[in-house]
Structure 1
């Protein structure tokens, strides 16, 4: 099985390389692109699982433009922290920014609220929700007000707990200090099962686990490997919290609309290709993480035994999302978008 996973992963990357080379050659001959040097502010380190796709995006835009459009990525918040990048991009301080929409639930009340627990089964499901969100007039209004356009968003593997101790039951969760991202509704949802949510940036997760500030963190398991959380926490819990639309690239709207049409089309084309390919590659990565990386790093994979009881205690996060946005005056958007979430959740399996 492991050999097959590695083989499939290599074949996927090979296919990407062939597609890239073929498309780049054809595009470079057919199009005349302007010389452009762009800056992309990124909120996580370059070695974070998933960050390789932003580098792929930058490399692919350069290849398909015949080397004309180059993008330099400034990693790990070196050009702005996670909650600053939206404003930096919207004001034109940087042309491009990579951060998580979930940090901006106030600035973008609908666009920033698609990260919900126990809704999306696969990375492709999460990406599909993001794509549908972009078609909604309220989402476009949210983006316009902040001066940005969303080029693409990554769909993560399911978020699960990674802990300093085993967690098998609801009783084990009571009083458990768990790092959560800035996404809304997570605190209300998790508090119902006795968890004490602690909101800290991704960059501080290792230190928080090491110092005992938190007992666990929520993340896709491969992020625990890339972040070396296994050095300070040895238990991965299989409770499936669902795939997430995690982060993606935003571009300054005014600048983007001033660029030639072929540049706009190229960036959208590469973004669409990335969402399709990355979602598939993530599935192979999840298997490799559990079957290869966990044993290699001495991580124990723990079976959570009370998923049904968890759902009964926590309730449904879509209900929390719908009630909050309706109360805030976005009931029409809820009517349009709630069916998307309900359809995804209907196919969710542990």
Structure 2
């Protein structure tokens, strides 16, 4: 039984007459386990801190029996290797953006990378949570890749961190901008920029040595990567929020866990997701202050309305592209579920 069933509320467990899930779980016996979590990013990321909280909650609720050790910044495998590591069972967990593997995640990649669609990372997280619990196309991708989604994340609107001021769309012409996956490159090409797919950990050096003109990140990412040291002009251009990378567990290992441990995972999930949703504004404020102290400046982008008008319906653009790849029915279902959650949030 997958964690997605927890999202849907389909798991019912007897946890004691008082109904205190955390207390009851702590009183149960758990087998000692030492689990390994491979990660593509550094531990300073707010989403990574949520994962550490998730791990601590699991350890606490199992009386220290289940411990999770993280391996940060690709120390167990590069961005192109992490999915195979966890899918094969070589590691227990892995965190990576599904959009790094567009062929394996055509449906899940929507919420993980589509620009110019959402403003609120909390909403993007809610959309992904709903899709994992309810959308058959998303669930089929998880099954095919032998993975269980154990934690979701969000990212506030993407902006640009450049070596020169960017105030207009004309200023973006010919600029080499860091991107990833399929859809950020699409947007950059439409506005006349040059997309360069670069892994997160290589962005600083790429800007420093002049092979990139701009980073493409939310403020928080730019801050913990210290891009203010190499890119002093932080544009407030707004490319929209997304659901960020995802955290996966090997599906066979997850399914083999006893129900009481799955329940603990669900409790830890709730704590970590709630914390992450509350941390977005705090993290952005801190990293803007750090950037300002380091001599970076926020440059106002003067043509946001013009930029928005260039991309009136990215969900339709994405769906049409998936239809061209013979994934039309799957794409329509994902877009329908996405719009359903967006409507409910109004």
Q: How does 1:105-184 map to 2 (within 5 A)?
A: 105-114=102-111, 115-134=113-132, 135-181=134-180, 183-184=181-182
Contact conserved, 1:53 with 1:274, CA < 8 A, in 2? Answer: yes
Unaligned residue ranges in structure 2 (runs of 5+): 1-19
Show structure 1 runs of 4+ deviating over 6 A: 343-348
Aligned length in residues:
324
Instruction: Give the equivalent residue in structure 2 for 1:58.
Output: 55
Aligned to 2:13: none
Within-5 A mapping of 1:179-258: 179-181=178-180, 183-258=181-256
Q: 1:79 to 1:206 in 2, by over 3 A?
A: same
1:102 to 99, 103, 107: 99
* TM-score, structure 2 normalization: 0.88
Q: Which residue of 2 aligns with 1:276?
A: 274
Q: Please, what is the CA RMSD of the aligned residues?
A: 2.1
Query: Cα offset for 1:344?
Result: 7.0
Contact 2:26 2:62 in 1 (8 A): no
CA contact (8 A) 1:122 1:243 kept: yes
| CA–CA separation in structure 2 for the residues paired with 1:345 and 1:263 | 32
Q: Which runs of 5+ in 1 are unaligned?
A: 1-22
Partner SS state of residue 72, structure 1: strand
Q: Scaled by the length of structure 1, what TM-score is found? A: 0.87
1:37 offset after TM fit, Å? 0.5
Partners of 1:142 and 1:230 in 2: CA distance: 38
**1:95 and 1:251 in contact (8 A); partners too:** yes
| Correspondent of 1:328 among 325, 329, 341 | 325
- Greater Cα shift, 314-323 or 34-43: 314-323
* Alpha-carbon distance between aligned partners in 2 of 1:30 and 1:58, rounded to the nearest angstrom: 19
Q: Deviations over 1:292-346 (max 9, x none)?
A: 2232221101110011222333553223211111222222222222234446778
| C-alpha contact 2:157 2:218 (8 A) present in aligned 1 | yes
Residue-by-residue CA offset, 1:156-210 (whole Å, 9 max, x unaligned): 12111111111000110111110012x2222122211111000010010000110
